[in-house]
Structure 1
Amino acid sequence: MTMLRFTKGHGTGNDFVLVSDPEGLLDLTPARRAALADRRFGVGADGVIRAVRSQSIPEGRALLASDPDAEWFMDYSNSDGSVSEMCGNGIRVFARFLLDQGLVELAPGRSIPIGTRAGVIEVHRLADGFAADLGRWRLDGGEPLVRARELPVARPGLGINVGNPHVVVALASDDELEALDLGVAPVLDPPAAAGANVEFVVPADPLVVDGIGRIRMRVHERGSGETLSCGTGAVAAALAVRYWAGASAPSEWRVTVPGGVLGVRMFAAEDGEHVALSGPAELVFEGEIAL
């Protein structure tokens, strides 16, 4: 029987099973990843993250040509075993895992490039967590109608891509946000070709305090269902509210999710506007499980 060593971690309640596989030798099929993430028969998690050297995975080797310092690749999959481009909470927990395993050294104030299917992400170590530069973002176009259980009337959503696809929906009140049943996937009309995470957001009143925007959010993640937090979803929600609020809106945001609070910051870069996500990353326990 083959035993798999794993670590359980989370970022604001968005939880992951992490495994170290530097040379890419593990046969982690989609079915095995889904079994690991199963909350009744496996370890239980919103996603599975494999730490593999970029040179040991085709997607990573393609990135090394442009960024040879991106030694490590975050091989991420959703809880149903399907592959995803990137995970904003997951990449912070991944950085913490690399440090804990002694695979990298990263002093506070320093950064490390990490390969993902959304490109190379620069992760900066803070005194109390990590911040990830998620790079350029873009509007995906269109305003699909979004239907969700316990939402009486379909609402228009705004498509935003931050390395993976999102649709953000504005709600009128905290009561509407709390009433949603996100155990059932929201329906998009027209549907997103590759699926999308769907965020429901309520602006605070007042929206801006001391130059920082404030919003609340819940999310249904494709391939995982409702999660306590979604890092790229928090970024998409802040970008959408800033877009709706207009030119006077701030470029720094605090996003409250069921699992905690995340920071989002938009800033100018040589290739256009980038967006950064900051927050905690915790490792909870280690164990072994039979594959």
Structure 2
Amino acid sequence: MTETAAATATRFMKMHGLGNDFVVIDRRSGSASVTPALARALGDRHFGVGFDQLAVIEPDPDADARLIFYNADGSPSAACGNATRCIARFLMDDTGARSLSLRTERGLLAAEDAGGGLTRVNMGAPLLDWHEVPLARHCDTLHLPIAGDPVACGMGNPHCTFFVPAVEDVDVPAFGAAHEHHPLFPERTNVEVVQVLSDSEIRLRIWERGTGVTLASGSCSCAAAVAAARRGLTGRDVTVRVDGGTLEIDWREDGVWMTGPTAHVFDGILTPDFLEALA
């Protein structure tokens, strides 16, 4: 690539939190605009880069940064907990700060260095009223009128949590796809399948709307922990074991705090030819 081409190309970072992987584009210094078409192209694991979510870092006058999220199908997402943690770690490493604030559609989220290489983010208070999730009509969010008696919760995006005897016995791709577009969820829904291991530990498998099966999800882990606590199956501070590893979720008075590891895998450049093909 020539120096001129490199100057007009778009740089990105590849990150993951427990295998929940992201492409991150930092637009604070300017770069190509990010569109749903670009998100879909980048999300293709054969013809693009591949990710569960695309995260865009924008400047914000009243926060350390503003984050915008896209699913792999190009649809927007108001929340992405693991990507928020990954970007928080990147920004703290870059600036030397031990804490910061990040603006998302969910609101202003606090992040901090949890020590031992771990990063903690407050994902905000769970949304428990039917219209906040949102649902299509009035329902008891603790007992949805859906076979399997799931729980609904909003974490900036909608969640439907099922409790089962053994998560390994569930065909998550089929089960998740069957419920993502349930008419009770006008904006589609993430689907969590949960097995309670003890009053302080759950096992979780995940179907993310607009993406499919994922190894981990921060917002899904928060929603599953909140659902378990609301049902009285666990306390409010739980270990969540997902396919990609372990997160610690603590539902406090000021919000749902999520703690876990992050990884910055590599940096790359989107060539002008790739970007022009989307025009």
TM class, shorter-length: 0.7 to 0.9
SS at match of 1:44: coil
Pairing of 1:63-102 with structure 2 (within 5 A): 68=62, 70-99=63-92, 102=94
**Which residue type is aligned with residue 261 of structure 1?**
T
Aligned to 1:282: 263
Alpha-carbon shift at residue 182 of structure 1 (Å): 4.4
Pairing of 1:50-61 with structure 2 (within 5 A): 50-55=56-61
The 3 A distance-change label for structure 1 pair 3 and 189 is closer
SS at match of 1:94: helix
Q: Aligned partners of 1:77, 1:131: CA distance in 2, in Å?
A: 22
Q: Aligned partners of 1:184, 1:114: CA distance in 2, in Å?
A: 30
Q: Aligned partners of 2:219, 2:164: CA distance in 1, in Å?
A: 19
Aligned to 1:61: none
Alpha-carbon shift at residue 24 of structure 1 (Å): 5.2
Residues 167, 193 of structure 2: 8 Å contact kept: no
SS at match of 1:98: helix
Q: Aligned partners of 2:168, 2:119: CA distance in 1, in Å?
A: 32
Q: Aligned partners of 2:169, 2:145: CA distance in 1, in Å?
A: 17
TM-score after normalising by structure 2: 0.84
The 3 A distance-change label for structure 1 pair 192 and 74 is same
Aligned to 1:261: 246
2:205 is the counterpart of 1:218:
yes
Aligned to 1:117: 105
2:231 is the counterpart of 1:244:
yes
Alpha-carbon shift at residue 54 of structure 1 (Å): 1.7
Alpha-carbon shift at residue 166 of structure 1 (Å): 0.7
**Between structures 1 and 2, the one with greater strand share:** 1
Q: Aligned partners of 1:126, 1:223: CA distance in 2, in Å?
A: 31
Indicate the percent of aligned positions where both proteins have the same amino acid.
33
Give CA deviations for 1:107-131 in whole Å, capped at 9, x if unaligned.
xxx3101010110100111222111
**Which residue type is aligned with residue 104 of structure 2?**
T
Pairing of 1:170-181 with structure 2 (within 5 A): 170-177=163-170, 179-181=171-173
Q: Aligned partners of 2:182, 2:73: CA distance in 1, in Å?
A: 23
Residues 167, 195 of structure 2: 8 Å contact kept: yes
**Which residue type is aligned with residue 119 of structure 2?**
F
Aligned to 1:135: 124
Aligned to 2:47: 41
Out of 19-28 and 192-201, give the one that drifted further. Answer: 19-28
Pairing of 1:19-30 with structure 2 (within 5 A): 19-23=25-29, 25-30=31-36
SS at match of 2:231: helix
The 3 A distance-change label for structure 1 pair 185 and 174 is closer
**What is the root-mean-square deviation in Å for CA atoms of aligned residues?**
2.0
Residues 12, 280 of structure 1: 8 Å contact kept: yes
Alpha-carbon shift at residue 172 of structure 1 (Å): 1.7
Alpha-carbon shift at residue 238 of structure 1 (Å): 0.9
The 3 A distance-change label for structure 1 pair 262 and 184 is closer
Give CA deviations for 1:98-157 in whole Å, capped at 9, x if unaligned.
245x3x332xxx3101010110100111222111111211224434455xxxxxxx4222
Alpha-carbon shift at residue 160 of structure 1 (Å): 0.5
Q: Aligned partners of 1:250, 1:144: CA distance in 2, in Å?
A: 22
TM-score after normalising by structure 1: 0.81
Aligned to 1:232: 219
SS at match of 1:54: coil
Out of 127-136 and 275-284, give the one that drifted further. Answer: 127-136
The unaligned stretches of length 5 or more in structure 2 are 131-138
Q: Aligned partners of 2:70, 2:125: CA distance in 1, in Å?
A: 22
